[in-house]
Chain A
Amino acid sequence: MMSGVKLDVLWSPIHHEKFILWGPDITLYEVSRIKEIEKKTTFTPISPTRGATVLASQSASGVRCVDISAIPEQPEPLLALGYASGKVALTTLKQTYDPLGLVGREFTPRYPRLCNSVSWSHMETNMLAVAMEKHRSDHCILLWDVYRGSMLSDEAKATESASPSVAAETPRPLAEMGLSETAHSVTWTNFSSRTLVASMNLKYIKLFDLRDLSNKAVSMTTTRYCYGVVAEPWGGYQLASRGEGVACVWDARALQRPLLTLQHPRPLAQLHWCPTRRNLLVSLQRDSNTLRIHDIQQANSDTKLNNVSDSVQSVPPVVEGELEEQYSRGPSVLERDVAVSAGAAGPLAAFSWHPAHEGRLLAVCASGALVDYTVCERVTVSWGGGGLVWAGGGGQLRLLKDDFYAAVKDISYVMKKRAQTDYGLKPDLWQNADLADDDSLSGLWHFLALSKSLVEDGCIRNSPWKHPGVRTVLRSVGDGGYRSEIVPSLLPDLPNRRVTIYRSAERTRGLQLCGWGWGWENALAGVERAEAEGTPCRAAALAAFQLRVRTALDVLARAQQPVLRVVALALAGLSDERLWREALAGAAAALPDPYLRALLRFLAASAPAHPHHHPPPAHHPDLAAVLNETEMRLEDRVAFACIFLPDAKLHEYIRQTCDTLLDQGDLSGILLTGASPEGISLLQRWVENTGDVQSAALLAARCATPELLRDPRVLNWLDSYRDILDGWQLWWARCALDTWVMAGAGGGEWGAGGAGGAGAVPRHVCVACTYCGKSVAAPPGHARPRVAFARLPPPAAKMKQISSCPNCRKPLPRCGVCSLHVGTGAGAGGAGAPPAGAAFSSWFSWCVACRHGGHAQHLINWFKEHTECPVSSCTCHCATLDPPDRPAPLLP
């Protein structure tokens, strides 16, 4: 069993930061965080954060086995060293205060031979068991009480004089077992005190019950895999042993055969139970970098009985017996390998569990390197309405608080916050823009509001969609069948330049959709708005695109940044000089603002106003430079195109831009598509890119036509968003969403107010008469049952509720409590007239299990005191079928 350079590690059972490394020397280490280790102290790193410093060391020559005592009074780990001579000596490696006077005590057998194993009891900490080689006339397992051991040499002599009665006689072991046998190892079990388990004679596992020393009960089993027996911690009855490539798990109460036989590809070097988790056995194979973790699964036997009875009918007896063999033998095991050391450090030589820290073990590699490793358990993670939760170590659940989600700014958090502010549900579309708190979304809401107002004002007619886009209006007059009026214009402030602009009614509407309006008055307002928004470059460009270069210069001159005034200088110098043009071409690209670049390029593209005509198409490549300034807002580019591009080019430009934006899922593309099937495709891309199903669902609910609301994609958004709202319990938002959807799907009344639209919603459920199957709640305005009512005598007609079916006039069922027909007034209000809304008490309700029912108030009162149904012959526990009321949340 012994190899040349044996390396082993052992944690002290009571000193949680101390361990020994046992090789050629026995060295006591202390573990601390690297940060806390004093500078210039040498230490061995055992993990990225921890290092071990040497406390003491001594030669291990002749030492065959070591164990550390669990005596709680010991200030330093007390070691029992078993020597080749059979002697067992107690020592602390470090000189220290020795409260019990144990250091230096020695225990020697009668006949010297190899000492194979020592083991301290963790229950009675003064008990020390020693396993030795065979001697024909001596026992191989000795049990010592260390408090009664002898003193060594001069120390012993000193005490001898003081207390001769104790030390005069040679110390005798408390118990001796195994005459003329060999014990390979011995250890204490944890299910009862003073029970030893030992591997003996190459083939036995023996269990010694030493509670009554005069009558040592022994139970044993024969197995080839008898070595290195270890006992389960936590007082369990499981033992584990090894031999060759097999590990066996035994039940100490039934040693006849192993519970489990675990095969390994290579011979086993070590086997240990995890002290911090039950049913976890870890094995180390020789020349291996990995530890194998066996998670033993216990299944109690009483299920077996159930399943036997189940299987009797279906399974033939023979097969059943086989299944029984296979499944009910007891535990089974889940295995996995964990790589403890990096490959470079060589195979693992030994490991030791930390006695208290969860899953922590210390491994030593063949190279001598130490690794502090924590066996990670499966951590379960779960999301839910409460956020992320995961099961940490030690049976803890950890939940993440809200501030994390806020910091990550995930769309789910954003959506919830928006939903709580009634985002998307405000009566006016533009009111939602501010709630979005997102530029592209708020731009979209503003555009939709604008588009809607244009439709309502009658500026845009014949739109197939509630919210037309630029593309919608441009092609609404047949496919490119319209001709724009070509208007060559001079720039008023630069009389030597001219441009060609195009006009048509469709272009005007397009400009209106872009927010530019038509004519200088509208445009000036836009310029002033842009300037007020702090974008002087945009304001200047807008003015220039309206041919008001003077205004543009004024705007730039007023700007804060000096750079802009320089640009104004360049503008003012507009000329045909080649020098100016070349300088411009170089400078424009370097300008920081896309609007400034566009502005300069636009002016450069304007043709000189000489009498001889340049063909206009010659200038269009230059206009393309303006249109390709994609950093400009889409509406400005589109409006620019609407003014300066000829028909074919305009259509081409709009189509291309629209396709690009659609492909990217860019929300600004709605400007072009409007709320059309293309717009839905664009929103679909947006949903897929961002996960913002909320905006998509709300936009659809507010802006889609009834046909679009039947699009499966739209239905999917709405269903998904409803489900999310349900989960958040935002009932109001959910209800308002449904109201908008029904109003939209109802058709006709586009943009009906939230409350107004609700009337159109058809009733989803009704209470039907048992006889005729028609709804008993026929609304007063309903046409058909009027005839029947007309024949009722006046007093009945005045009653707020009726007790018979309005269709067939058969009576409604009776209340289980008061025996009156339901539908009548409950009469529980007493003398005081019930306040408004208290009509609930006369509603009727019923149990879906036994189908008995009655007036709601009567039933509530009844079930306050009863659990059974009020109908006398019925034993239904109606009220308990419902999930119980949740306790009201505690108020802070």
Chain B
Amino acid sequence: MGELTATNLFESQTIFADHKDLIHDVAYDFYGERMATCSSDQYVKVWDSDGNGGWRLTASWKAHHGSVWKVTWAHPEFGQVIATCSFDRTAAIWEEVGDTASSGSEKGLRTWLKRSNLVDSRTSVTDVKFGPKHLGLLLVTCSADGIIRIYEAPDVMNLAQWTLQHEIPTKVSISCLSWNPSLSRVTHPPMLAVGSDEPNTTNAAATVQSDKATACNGKVFIYEYSETSRRWTRTDCLASVQEPVNDLAFAPNLGRSFHLLAVATKDVRIIKLEPIAESSGANNGAMVRFKVEVVAAFEEHYSCVWRVGWNVTGTLLASSGDDCCVRLWKMQYLNQWKCVAVFKNEPATGDSPPLCRPSTTYTRLAAMANPAHMPFH
């Protein structure tokens, strides 16, 4: 039994990102060697790992005319491609290229070119995500006016051409979305979860799709693509989430027979979606697709949770919220979830000059309620 007590300190590395305003999103590429950040200062920055734990700024450009909300990497088999979305009502596709104008020694210089600008939205584009790579080069955006748009690049060599494949109106303001990353196309059709930040004061009851008789006040909707009808349809609405949703994320599927969805709303929620076999729910129309179970709901973030994120195995969940803390939740045996760490996010004090180079700080783990729950050696 090891001693992982509140006195243990862990090294954390700090990078001074030099954004002029709030950083809205950080995204790793597939290999975890590159990082992209975006901010209200309308800039996107790309950071490369030097292989020794250090990070170097390799690109920084003004990407939009408004706050850049999200940034996301495409799978590397499509090249070095990122997508951004912004308050300026557009989403953009960027590709990193060598400098075409020069040759010889300067050929190694790299720039990010805007390959495409998706201007279909009439309101702020709140989230953008590339689809799982086995579906091809897909991109989904959602906007504050509640329209989910799914784009496809029919020719992966030509990132300038994106066709709008589907436009799904939801009638509520959509703040975030997540692809189900399941690799198994046989058992799990392409699936999207979207979260709404529509405040409850307005008549949220009007969220029901007209063709659906089921009234639902939930804020999280599940959409699935049907190969036969070639349409995306809303197959579920999680009635357990009634408060505005700030973020949600599917856990990596990892061979599980069910899906785990983390939702950042008033609390951190982990929701288990277990597909029900087709045969048992054969009556069409009002068919229930999932057995939905709230596995955990944590209220430690006070009134508001901002973001949630899963690790590669879907066994650790990070969340941030109004208490200025980043909290880590770990899956114990048998899908029990416990808080394993709290990182207080100390704001930089104005007394010390901003750190211009990476520095090392130490982070303290939270005291564990019952250390015996964690198998340390």
Contact = CB atoms under 8 A, between A and B. Distances in A.
Nearest to A688: B256
Contacts of A358: 347-350
A307 B326 contact: no
Contacts of B2: 407
Contacts of A300: 65-66, 88
Of the listed residues A381, A383, A879, A883, the one surrounded by the most CB atoms of chain B closer than 10 A to its CB is: A381
Interface string A354-378: 1111111000000000000010111
Interface string A388-413: 11111111111111011001111110
Nearest to A278: B21
A664 to B, nearest CB: 9
Given A323-B122, A890-B50, A386 B320 contact: no
Nearest to B66: A299
Contact of A715 (B52, B66, B184, B319): B184
A384 interface: yes
Contact of B347 (A374, A382, A398): A374
A787 to B, nearest CB: 39
Contacts of B326: 379, 381, 388, 390
Contacts of A489: none
Contact of A883 (B4, B30, B96): B96
Nearest to B315: A691
A409 B96 CA distance: 37
Given A378-B307, A396-B16, A411-B315, A727 B32 contact: yes
A398 B255 contact: no
B8 interface: yes
Which 8 residue pairs across A and B have the least CB separation, nearest first? A385-B32, A384-B28, A356-B350, A889-B51, A394-B348, A393-B347, A379-B320, A391-B23
Interface string B1-41: 01010001011111111111111111111111101010110
A887 B50 CA distance: 8
Interface in A703-727: 712-713, 715-717, 719-721, 723-724, 726-727
A867 interface: yes
26 contacts: A327-B89, A356-B350, A357-B347, A374-B324, A381-B26, A381-B308, A383-B311, A388-B309, A393-B348, A395-B23, A395-B354, A397-B35, A399-B13, A401-B53, A404-B10, A408-B330, A408-B374, A410-B330, A411-B315, A690-B333, A715-B184, A716-B255, A867-B100, A879-B98, A882-B98, A885-B108
Contact of A303 (B19, B53, B89): B89
B335 interface: yes
A691 B331 contact: yes
Interface of A: 16, 276-279, 297-300, 302-303, 306-307, 310, 323, 327, 332, 336, 338-339, 354-360, 374, 376-401, 403-404, 407-412, 415, 684, 687-691, 693, 696-697, 712-713, 715-717, 719-721, 723-724, 726-727, 729, 848-849, 865-867, 877, 879-887, 889-890, 892
B348 A412 contact: no
A279 B40 contact: yes
A383 B37 CA distance: 13
Q: Is the interface of A mostly helix, strand, loop or mixed?
A: mixed
Contacts of B187: 712, 716
Q: Is the interface of B mostly helix, strand, loop or mixed?
A: loop
A616 B2 CA distance: 50
| Interface size grouping (class) on chain B | 35 or more
A883 B311 CA distance: 27
B103 interface: yes
A848 B316 CA distance: 41
B314 A691 contact: yes
Given A374-B324, A385-B312, A411-B315, A307 B100 contact: no
Contacts of A719: 183-184
A278 B25 CA distance: 18
Contacts of A407: 2, 4, 8, 10, 365, 376
A398 B39 CA distance: 16
Contact of A382 (B12, B25, B306): B25
B323 interface: yes
A339 B255 CA distance: 43
Contacts of A886: 33, 48
B128 to A, nearest CB: 14
A867 to B, nearest CB: 5
Given A379-B345, A409-B374, A716-B182, 17 more contacts: A297-B124, A378-B22, A380-B25, A385-B28, A388-B318, A392-B345, A395-B39, A397-B15, A398-B13, A403-B11, A404-B11, A412-B313, A412-B315, A691-B254, A696-B255, A716-B184, A883-B79
Contacts of A393: 345-348
Given A278-B21, A688-B257, A693-B313, A384 B348 contact: no
Contact of B119 (A299, A307, A881): A307
A380 B330 contact: no
B252 interface: yes
Interface string B63-78: 0011100000000000
B377 interface: yes
B28 A389 contact: yes
Nearest to A718: B255
Of the listed residues A276, A354, A723, the one surrounded by the most CB atoms of chain B closer than 10 A to its CB is: A723
B354 A394 contact: yes
B308 to A, nearest CB: 7
B88 A401 contact: no
Interface in B115-140: 119, 122-124
B303 interface: yes
A277 B21 contact: yes
A312 B112 CA distance: 30
B107 interface: yes
Contacts of A877: 100
Contacts of B182: 716
Interface in B291-346: 303-304, 306-316, 318-324, 326, 328, 330-331, 333-335, 340-341, 343, 345-346
Contact of A724 (B39, B312, B330): B312
Contacts of B65: 299-300, 302-303
A310 B61 CA distance: 25
